[in-house]
Structure 1
Amino acid sequence: MKIEYDTLAALIYQPEDIAKTELKPEWFFEQRNKEIAEALLHENKNMIEPNVLYESIRNHNPSTLVDPKTLEDMKIDGYGIEVEENAIALKKRYYKERFDNASRKYASYPSGENFELMKDALRELEELEKPDDDGKLNGTIDRLLEELETEIEPGILSYPKIDDIFGGGMFGGMLITIGARPGVGKTAYAINVAMEAMNRQPDLAVDFFTLEMSKIQMIKRFISRMCEINSMKFRNPKLTLKDDEKAKVTASGFQLLGSELRVHDSMFHIREIERQIRRRHYEVKGKPYIAFVDYLGLVEASDTRQPRHIQVGEITRTLKILTNELNIPIVLLSQLNRAVENRQDKKPNLSDLRESGSVEQDSNVVMFLHEDGEDEGKTIVSVAKNREGFTGDIEYRFLKSKMYFEEVAY
């Protein structure tokens, strides 16, 4: 393995770098290289000559396959090799292998213990990507001064009016809760937000966790929205769809296949959802990413014996922590309690959120969908809480048969 050989060759050539380089024998997969690394780290910079190094290796393992000529060649080959970059690459490779092994183990036997091992391995892997922070303000002040002259890069864009209220899109660190009573269209609205975002950012990666519908039901809704075909026709598409509509559906299906959309209909536990979000975020590193969870009331917490408000607290805190750790937005759908139906104007408020304490506290943004009592077919999205921007109402025309939300122009 070239990276292992190069790292060791550089240290044999210049042993004084051993004390300055973070290195562990377990980062080496090839047995001979592991033995050389163990001897180097054991003797530190005292071992300059390959023949001395060879004797140390033989003392630890008399049957070693390492030979003096290999060590002599390595000393010659070590000239000009950058040790630190190779050592960092070895470390990343090691933790990536640990995560892959832990994932396979969990997939074979999904116990709580195996899940924690996998989560720990992923966190270690993500930690390697974080820059060191010594608390100094130099870089932060430089960034602030740069922002005075440079326009801030937008977040994930969707509907123009939502983007304006959010101050430029959906940014990392945002937990966005969308609440509504059953039948108002919160799932359809989430699909529309996802589609608008995918249309505006073609490389956008999306995880959509559907806990109420099957994957095929969700895909039918996506395609109904894309093609503007009545969703009722998908109940028996062979008989109800015309040839031109079937052609549109086929084209839309292939478009979704080529996209970064993933729909999950069998993940109900918050730890499963957390694991998938972490894994997908790692897999699509470098691309914008957003997750949708539909919906809060069906997500299972770690201990279902706890009162539901305690469970909800665990769920919302887990999602909020993920938004900060991974610097991603997450959209969480939630049902509202019945109190809103007894109100004359039917307009929801924050107290209508079920188990509202933690949902309201952990969410950066809380939005409510409700029908306009005076104009049938018009749906209002009320932004009731927004830590980073404005609040207010946005009007939509909801074509329910086609799962399509259209912003109403002012």
Structure 2
Amino acid sequence: MIEFEENLLASLIKFPKLYDDLQVTPNMISDESIKATLQFFREKGFADVASLYQVSGASNQQVIDKKTIGSMRNDKFIFESHFKQYQIDVINAYKQRMIISAAQDYIEKPTVESQNFLQQTITQLNEIDIDDEDTKTDVLLQIMDTITSDAKSGILTGFKSLDGLTDGFDASQFNIIGARPSIGKTAFAIAMGLQMAQKNTVHFVSLETKDVKVTTRILSNLSNVPLKKFKNGGMMTSDEIELVTKWIGYYQNLDFHVHDKNNITPAKLRSIIAKHPDKTNIIFLDYIQLMKSDDKSKDRRLELEQISRELKIVAKETNSVIIALAQLSRGVEQRQDKRPIMSDLKEASGLEQDADIIMMLYRDDYYTKQTDPDNPGKSEIECIIAKNKDGETGTVKMDFYKASQRFYG
């Protein structure tokens, strides 16, 4: 192993919290086992030493071995305060290797192309450096760009009434959609995601429902063919089949992805996001009370609070929007006014604290069983913005057509 690369990895193993300050990327490392270990941490989203120890020695892993992990963890000459210098040493060595390689190519084949490649390599390498912690100037320039631009900076949901109140979502937000079972929160999330996927990468992570059922809901929404007709063959007319087929082609090309693994953790969510770096990632999580933590706890309430904090960190570090669906407690049913409030979030007082925006869904006909005589398939649904850290709160009303999973508002 090369000493400064070894020092860098040892500092992460000895002081895992330093991973938040890591700016060296795996491709800058020359030692294959250290490179593989940094890539392993990158996929996890943090310096997961416990998991590293478990996979060390596996035939499909090239990470450092258990003996090396132990020696690095106990190395008395690795200091937390030297972490920045370790990174500088690795980056300087990487620059030197790349310049030597590009120069060697030019010497062996002195063409205009190889000369341009050498110059380009030098320019790119000069731009690599450890970031200065003082970002005040960049932040002020970003604010000036926002306030002088005519375009809205928020990520719009496609619902004019909701966007009018919230100005859309912002990258790095952790948001909540809360409702009692069968109110329509999954349909609401799907409808929102389909509109947001036109300009962003959307992931619908279903911990409750298989991908086939989620996809039939999607196709029902897109085609406006009633959901019940997807459940049994022979219920659709030939025109409806033709319509669904057309929308299947549209959905195939839409940047909307369904994940139905029931063992999703915040770290696995980070890995999903890492595979789609080109656009802003929008994550819908259905629903958060079914999610597992990377670190199990005997107290489910504490585990859920930890999940909430981790999701907020993932949203911030990946510059994504995470929208978690949440079940509400039965306490709603005991009140005369059954409109939900933030304290109704089931098992999850931490959600109330961590979320940037909390939306609560309420349908009067859910409790009264009364329908519109002129349009029995339509329900009026209230989207209550109970919390909005950077904007207004209030209520917007939408029309919900349960048969086809569509929302208008």
TM-score range, shorter chain: 0.5 to 0.7
2:280–2:319 CA contact under 8 A, matched in 1: no
Q: Distance in 1 between matches of 2:287 and 2:309?
A: 15
Q: How far 1:277 sits from its partner (Å)?
A: 3.1
Instruction: Give 1:9-24 correspondences, 5 Å limit.
Output: none
Q: Distance in 1 between matches of 2:270 and 2:208?
A: 20
Q: How far 1:395 sits from its partner (Å)?
A: 0.9
| 84 and 318 in structure 1: CA distance in 2 versus 1, 3 angstrom threshold | farther
Match of 1:125 in 2: none
Match of 2:186 in 1: 187
Q: How far 1:381 sits from its partner (Å)?
A: 0.9
Match of 1:175 in 2: 174
Match of 1:216 in 2: 212
Q: How far 1:292 sits from its partner (Å)?
A: 0.5
1:203–1:259 CA contact under 8 A, matched in 2: no
1:316–1:358 CA contact under 8 A, matched in 2: yes
Of structures 1 and 2, the larger Rg is shown by 1
Q: Distance in 2 between matches of 1:341 and 1:150?
A: 46
Q: Any idea what the Cα deviations from partners look like across 1:25-65, whole Å, max 9, x if unmatched?
A: 559x9xxxxxxxxxx97xx9xxxxxxxx9xxxxxxxxxxxx
What SS does structure 2 have at the residue aligned with 1:172? Answer: coil
Given the alignment of the two structures, is residue 392 of structure 1 paired with residue 394 of structure 2, yes or no?
yes
Match of 1:33 in 2: none
Instruction: Give 1:138-153 correspondences, 5 Å limit.
Output: 138-153=137-152
Match of 1:162 in 2: 162
Q: Larger % of helix: which? A: 1
Match of 2:303 in 1: 311
Given the alignment of the two structures, is residue 301 of structure 1 paired with residue 303 of structure 2, yes or no?
no
Q: Distance in 1 between matches of 2:340 and 2:189?
A: 18
Q: Distance in 2 between matches of 1:343 and 1:203?
A: 41
Match of 1:277 in 2: 272
Given the alignment of the two structures, is residue 240 of structure 1 paired with residue 235 of structure 2, yes or no?
yes
Match of 1:48 in 2: none
What SS does structure 2 have at the residue aligned with 1:384? Answer: strand
Moved more, 395-404 or 336-345: 395-404
Instruction: Give 1:51-90 correspondences, 5 Å limit.
Output: 73-74=107-108, 81-82=118-119, 83-85=121-123, 87=125
Q: Distance in 1 between matches of 2:106 and 2:210?
A: 63
Q: Distance in 2 between matches of 1:325 and 1:344?
A: 42
Code of the aligned partner of 1:306: K
- 2:259 counterpart (246, 250, 264): 264
Code of the aligned partner of 2:190: I
Q: Any idea what the Cα deviations from partners look like across 1:135-179, whole Å, max 9, x if unmatched?
A: 053333333344443235432222112212222x12102111000
| 235 and 74 in structure 1: CA distance in 2 versus 1, 3 angstrom threshold | same
| 243 and 385 in structure 1: CA distance in 2 versus 1, 3 angstrom threshold | same
Q: Any idea what the Cα deviations from partners look like across 1:311-361, whole Å, max 9, x if unmatched?
A: 111211121111111112111000000000111111111110012321111
Q: Distance in 2 between matches of 1:142 and 1:79?
A: 36
1:334–1:353 CA contact under 8 A, matched in 2: yes
| 224 and 139 in structure 1: CA distance in 2 versus 1, 3 angstrom threshold | same
What SS does structure 2 have at the residue aligned with 1:366? Answer: strand
Q: How far 1:271 sits from its partner (Å)?
A: 4.1
2:205–2:260 CA contact under 8 A, matched in 1: yes
Q: Distance in 2 between matches of 1:203 and 1:140?
A: 25
1:281–1:326 CA contact under 8 A, matched in 2: no
Unaligned regions of 5+ residues in structure 2, if any? 1-26, 36-91, 372-378
The alignment yields a C-alpha RMSD, in angstroms, of 3.3
- 2:321 counterpart (329, 332, 338): 329
Match of 2:384 in 1: 382
How many residues are treated as equivalent by the alignment?
305
Q: Distance in 1 between matches of 2:224 and 2:199?
A: 23
1:23–1:87 CA contact under 8 A, matched in 2: no
What SS does structure 1 have at the residue aligned with 2:142? Answer: helix
What SS does structure 2 have at the residue aligned with 1:402? Answer: coil
Q: Distance in 2 between matches of 1:299 and 1:349?
A: 22
Unaligned regions of 5+ residues in structure 1, if any? 1-21, 30-39, 45-52, 54-65, 92-127
Q: How far 1:296 sits from its partner (Å)?
A: 0.8
Code of the aligned partner of 1:142: L
Instruction: Give 1:112-123 correspondences, 5 Å limit.
Output: none
Q: Percent identity?
A: 28
Q: Distance in 1 between matches of 2:135 and 2:179?
A: 44
Return the TM-score normalized by structure 2. 0.67
Return the TM-score normalized by structure 1. 0.67
What SS does structure 2 have at the residue aligned with 1:277? Answer: helix
